[in-house]
Structure 1
């Protein structure tokens, strides 16, 4: 995939573009993630789709400490990638926090979103300042720098997300560090605390909502989301929150089927 940099509002965004003539698909990773997680998704969709992956601000190889981590800043970034890289409307895919960004982008810029796929995303607010603080404290607890990836894996654990974090650590002169800062992640979560039901109900694009049976949302939350927008296509996977890593084959099949539908 070809790497480019898009600059907007004082932040540089790292973008990977598969190229090709297929319909453009823009994919947004979740909190503390990066484009690396979705490179297999891009390969699975090629060559029928042109897949564009972006490290969202504060993540990956994009600006690590942006001045603005509001929801509107993330939405404006996604819109800028659609306009300036894809050169027009995209089929927008997001996971977790990236799904929240994708939802808000579809509501704010219907001209740029032809189809919408939300993997473990929801318009309800977060758990308040306490929830954001717990997430920040977790990331701040990592004993950095890790001397090597084996040490990172030993601390982080063996689940698929922990393995993805360990694989994506950046090498520096003193060891390995994550491609994000704990306090920035806490601020990003805190900015998403407000419920966004009005935006969800106003989304015009055909939408697929994919939930994990062992994910972060209750059955009642999932049901309410669909009830508030009954035209939404719902799919459930027998996985945990990071379904794209835990059962990629099932994820690829769902995604390709919805993106290819007439």
Structure 2
């Protein structure tokens, strides 16, 4: 089913403290789901997963987090608390009832911290390549260098997908889908400086206290591609120690962008997990 513009989703907007947030509302009925993308990403990364979840009986919305996509590009506040407050505002404004929070990478951090700060709010939590983490000095410099190396503007979507995908077509297509077209080519829909600042808290400390405060069931989906995922063995072991009921799945061959590489498999994992969630 598509709307009058031919898109399978409608664009909704939520404003919080003067910051405009853009949401892809896929509609549907059943258990509500909020999808949260990673750093330098966009809500469109979730299109394949969103369609599958909607068609299997869920109400699905995907948020362009502040600083990303069609949302406010240069928000002053990029603290973890601001990201969490945005998620709560979207849940309340769109009348999502005890949604399942599904987040990848930085979006997983947002989902985790939202569940910790508002224990009664989510029905369940799905972390895709995300965890409580720890301090990693130098991460911001690495991210800044990576973004600065992008050969912007890209002359075409095909060139962008080839560069950003690292040889994986679904990943490249997903990243390229977040670019905006200008007269001279395709550009990111974010500011690199905002992306780097968004990691301020994540590189300074871990969120183990918040992890212990999560009250809902949790599924952790980890990539194990050639370059490995970002959740190491020690971190995952501590996650399990603090939450013995954690459901964890490792996917050999999949990398950090599991949601782009294997949306079909991620969809099946989420459905299987939710069958046992009241």
1:171 aligns with 2:185: no
TM-score (norm 2): 0.89
Q: How many correspondences in the alignment? A: 261
- Distance in 2 (CA, whole Å) between partners of 1:228 and 1:243 is 25
Deviations 1:75-117 (A, max 9, x none): 0001111111134321111111111110000000112111111
Contact 1:89-1:114 at 8 Å conserved across structures = yes
Q: Which residue of 1 aligns with 2:87?
A: 78
- Distance in 2 (CA, whole Å) between partners of 1:154 and 1:113 is 37
Q: How far 1:228 moved relative to its partner? A: 1.6
- Distance in 2 (CA, whole Å) between partners of 1:60 and 1:195 is 27
- Distance in 2 (CA, whole Å) between partners of 1:147 and 1:40 is 26
Contact 2:22-2:70 at 8 Å conserved across structures = yes
Runs of at least 5 residues in structure 1 that lack an aligned partner in the other structure: none
- Distance in 2 (CA, whole Å) between partners of 1:151 and 1:236 is 31
1:243 aligns with 2:263: no
Q: 2:229 aligns with which of 212, 215, 222?
A: 215
Contact 1:82-1:112 at 8 Å conserved across structures = no
Q: 2:60 aligns with which of 48, 51, 55?
A: 51
Q: Which residue of 2 aligns with 1:196?
A: 207
- Distance in 2 (CA, whole Å) between partners of 1:171 and 1:57 is 20
Q: Which residue of 2 aligns with 1:122?
A: 131
- Distance in 1 (CA, whole Å) between partners of 2:162 and 2:139 is 25
- Distance in 2 (CA, whole Å) between partners of 1:88 and 1:49 is 12
- Distance in 1 (CA, whole Å) between partners of 2:271 and 2:18 is 35
- Distance in 2 (CA, whole Å) between partners of 1:187 and 1:99 is 17
Runs of at least 5 residues in structure 2 that lack an aligned partner in the other structure: 1-8
- Distance in 2 (CA, whole Å) between partners of 1:127 and 1:92 is 25
- Distance in 1 (CA, whole Å) between partners of 2:99 and 2:130 is 19
Q: How far 1:220 moved relative to its partner? A: 1.8
